[in-house]
Amino acid sequence: MWRAKAVIAVAVGVAFGCTSQSPSQVRAGDVYDAAVRWLASEHSDDPDPLPMFVEPRGEGTAIKLEVQADLVDQVSDVAELRFIDAREEAIVTEDDHDVVRDDGILIRLGPVIEDGDRVRLEVDRWIGEERFTTLVFTLRREGDVWKPLAAPVVSGVIEVPE
Protein backbone atom coordinates (compact mmCIF):
# COMPACT_ATOMS: atom_id res chain seq x y z
CA MET A 1 0.00 0.00 0.00
CA TRP A 2 2.76 2.48 0.87
CA ARG A 3 4.44 1.72 -2.49
CA ALA A 4 1.26 2.64 -4.35
CA LYS A 5 1.06 5.94 -2.42
CA ALA A 6 4.72 6.66 -3.17
CA VAL A 7 4.20 6.01 -6.90
CA ILE A 8 1.13 8.25 -6.94
CA ALA A 9 3.01 11.01 -5.08
CA VAL A 10 5.90 10.85 -7.56
CA ALA A 11 3.51 10.87 -10.53
CA VAL A 12 1.63 13.89 -9.18
CA GLY A 13 4.92 15.69 -8.49
CA VAL A 14 6.18 15.02 -12.01
CA ALA A 15 2.90 16.15 -13.55
CA PHE A 16 2.87 19.42 -11.62
CA GLY A 17 6.60 19.92 -12.15
CA CYS A 18 6.19 19.65 -15.89
CA THR A 19 3.47 22.30 -16.02
CA SER A 20 4.96 24.88 -13.71
CA GLN A 21 7.19 27.72 -14.83
CA SER A 22 10.82 27.94 -13.87
CA PRO A 23 11.91 30.87 -11.66
CA SER A 24 13.74 32.42 -14.64
CA GLN A 25 10.54 32.34 -16.73
CA VAL A 26 8.58 34.00 -13.95
CA ARG A 27 11.30 36.63 -13.51
CA ALA A 28 11.45 37.33 -17.27
CA GLY A 29 7.68 37.78 -17.47
CA ASP A 30 7.64 40.11 -14.45
CA VAL A 31 10.57 42.15 -15.77
CA TYR A 32 8.96 42.38 -19.22
CA ASP A 33 5.77 43.53 -17.46
CA ALA A 34 7.62 46.47 -15.89
CA ALA A 35 9.23 47.49 -19.20
CA VAL A 36 5.96 47.22 -21.17
CA ARG A 37 4.15 49.31 -18.56
CA TRP A 38 6.86 51.98 -18.69
CA LEU A 39 6.79 52.07 -22.50
CA ALA A 40 2.99 52.24 -22.61
CA SER A 41 2.92 55.14 -20.16
CA GLU A 42 5.59 57.03 -22.14
CA HIS A 43 4.00 56.55 -25.56
CA SER A 44 0.32 57.05 -24.95
CA ASP A 45 -1.95 59.17 -22.81
CA ASP A 46 -5.00 57.43 -24.25
CA PRO A 47 -6.88 55.44 -21.58
CA ASP A 48 -7.27 52.55 -24.03
CA PRO A 49 -4.48 49.97 -24.10
CA LEU A 50 -1.64 50.86 -26.49
CA PRO A 51 -1.23 48.44 -29.42
CA MET A 52 2.25 46.99 -28.93
CA PHE A 53 3.87 44.55 -31.33
CA VAL A 54 6.61 42.41 -29.83
CA GLU A 55 9.42 40.31 -31.25
CA PRO A 56 12.40 38.75 -29.49
CA ARG A 57 15.69 40.67 -29.56
CA GLY A 58 18.66 38.90 -31.06
CA GLU A 59 19.33 36.26 -33.66
CA GLY A 60 17.90 32.87 -32.73
CA THR A 61 16.23 34.08 -29.52
CA ALA A 62 12.69 33.28 -28.48
CA ILE A 63 10.23 34.21 -25.76
CA LYS A 64 8.56 31.10 -24.39
CA LEU A 65 4.86 30.74 -25.15
CA GLU A 66 4.02 30.53 -21.44
CA VAL A 67 5.79 33.84 -20.82
CA GLN A 68 4.01 35.41 -23.81
CA ALA A 69 0.57 34.28 -22.63
CA ASP A 70 1.13 35.43 -19.06
CA LEU A 71 2.51 38.77 -20.20
CA VAL A 72 -0.44 39.43 -22.50
CA ASP A 73 -2.78 38.89 -19.54
CA GLN A 74 -0.65 40.85 -17.04
CA VAL A 75 -0.45 44.06 -19.10
CA SER A 76 -3.87 44.00 -20.78
CA ASP A 77 -4.89 47.12 -18.84
CA VAL A 78 -2.15 49.23 -20.49
CA ALA A 79 -1.09 47.42 -23.68
CA GLU A 80 -2.62 45.21 -26.31
CA LEU A 81 0.36 42.92 -26.91
CA ARG A 82 0.74 41.02 -30.15
CA PHE A 83 3.76 38.76 -30.49
CA ILE A 84 4.77 38.66 -34.14
CA ASP A 85 6.68 36.26 -36.36
CA ALA A 86 7.36 38.75 -39.17
CA ARG A 87 7.73 42.51 -39.07
CA GLU A 88 5.08 42.89 -41.81
CA GLU A 89 2.51 42.00 -39.13
CA ALA A 90 3.33 45.29 -37.38
CA ILE A 91 4.49 47.70 -40.09
CA VAL A 92 2.19 49.17 -42.74
CA THR A 93 2.72 51.86 -45.40
CA GLU A 94 0.63 55.02 -45.07
CA ASP A 95 1.13 58.15 -47.16
CA ASP A 96 4.33 56.73 -48.69
CA HIS A 97 6.08 55.97 -45.40
CA ASP A 98 6.12 53.06 -42.98
CA VAL A 99 4.29 53.27 -39.64
CA VAL A 100 3.32 50.84 -36.92
CA ARG A 101 -0.15 49.41 -37.43
CA ASP A 102 -3.02 50.80 -35.31
CA ASP A 103 -0.93 53.77 -34.06
CA GLY A 104 1.03 51.37 -31.89
CA ILE A 105 4.69 50.69 -31.25
CA LEU A 106 6.99 47.83 -32.21
CA ILE A 107 9.50 46.60 -29.65
CA ARG A 108 12.08 43.84 -29.40
CA LEU A 109 12.52 42.30 -25.93
CA GLY A 110 15.98 41.04 -24.98
CA PRO A 111 16.87 38.44 -22.38
CA VAL A 112 16.83 39.40 -18.70
CA ILE A 113 20.42 39.71 -17.46
CA GLU A 114 21.07 39.31 -13.74
CA ASP A 115 23.34 41.87 -12.11
CA GLY A 116 23.46 41.18 -8.36
CA ASP A 117 20.16 42.21 -6.77
CA ARG A 118 19.19 43.97 -10.00
CA VAL A 119 18.42 42.90 -13.53
CA ARG A 120 19.14 44.56 -16.85
CA LEU A 121 16.92 44.42 -19.90
CA GLU A 122 17.59 45.81 -23.37
CA VAL A 123 14.53 46.77 -25.38
CA ASP A 124 14.67 48.02 -28.95
CA ARG A 125 11.91 50.42 -30.07
CA TRP A 126 11.26 50.77 -33.80
CA ILE A 127 11.74 54.32 -35.07
CA GLY A 128 11.44 53.68 -38.82
CA GLU A 129 13.17 52.24 -41.87
CA GLU A 130 14.54 49.19 -40.03
CA ARG A 131 16.07 51.40 -37.33
CA PHE A 132 15.54 50.90 -33.61
CA THR A 133 16.46 52.89 -30.53
CA THR A 134 17.92 50.66 -27.82
CA LEU A 135 16.69 51.34 -24.29
CA VAL A 136 18.52 49.77 -21.36
CA PHE A 137 16.37 49.21 -18.28
CA THR A 138 17.86 48.52 -14.85
CA LEU A 139 15.27 47.10 -12.49
CA ARG A 140 15.06 45.96 -8.88
CA ARG A 141 12.47 43.85 -7.15
CA GLU A 142 10.26 45.74 -4.68
CA GLY A 143 8.05 43.23 -2.91
CA ASP A 144 6.40 41.19 -5.67
CA VAL A 145 7.03 43.74 -8.43
CA TRP A 146 10.05 44.64 -10.56
CA LYS A 147 10.47 48.40 -10.94
CA PRO A 148 12.84 50.46 -13.06
CA LEU A 149 15.38 52.31 -10.91
CA ALA A 150 15.13 55.24 -13.32
CA ALA A 151 14.11 55.96 -16.86
CA PRO A 152 15.93 53.63 -19.26
CA VAL A 153 19.21 54.76 -20.77
CA VAL A 154 19.19 55.24 -24.52
CA SER A 155 22.26 53.40 -25.72
CA GLY A 156 21.97 54.30 -29.38
CA VAL A 157 20.27 53.64 -32.67
CA ILE A 158 20.75 50.35 -34.47
CA GLU A 159 19.74 49.12 -37.88
CA VAL A 160 18.03 45.74 -37.82
CA PRO A 161 17.27 44.21 -41.20
CA GLU A 162 14.26 41.97 -41.27
What's the rounded Cα separation, in Å, for the pair 54 and 108?
A: 6
What's the rounded Cα separation, in Å, for the pair 87 and 121?
A: 21
Strands 145-148 and 131-142 turn out to be antiparallel
State pLDDT tens for residues 35-67.
999 999 998 778 899 999 999 998 888 999 999
Q: What is the pTM of this model?
A: 0.80
Answer yes or no: is pLDDT of 125 > 60: yes
Query: 23-159, what's its fold?
Result: Nuclear Transport Factor 2; Chain: A, (3.10.450)
CA angle (33 as vertex; 71, 100 as ends), nearest 5: 80
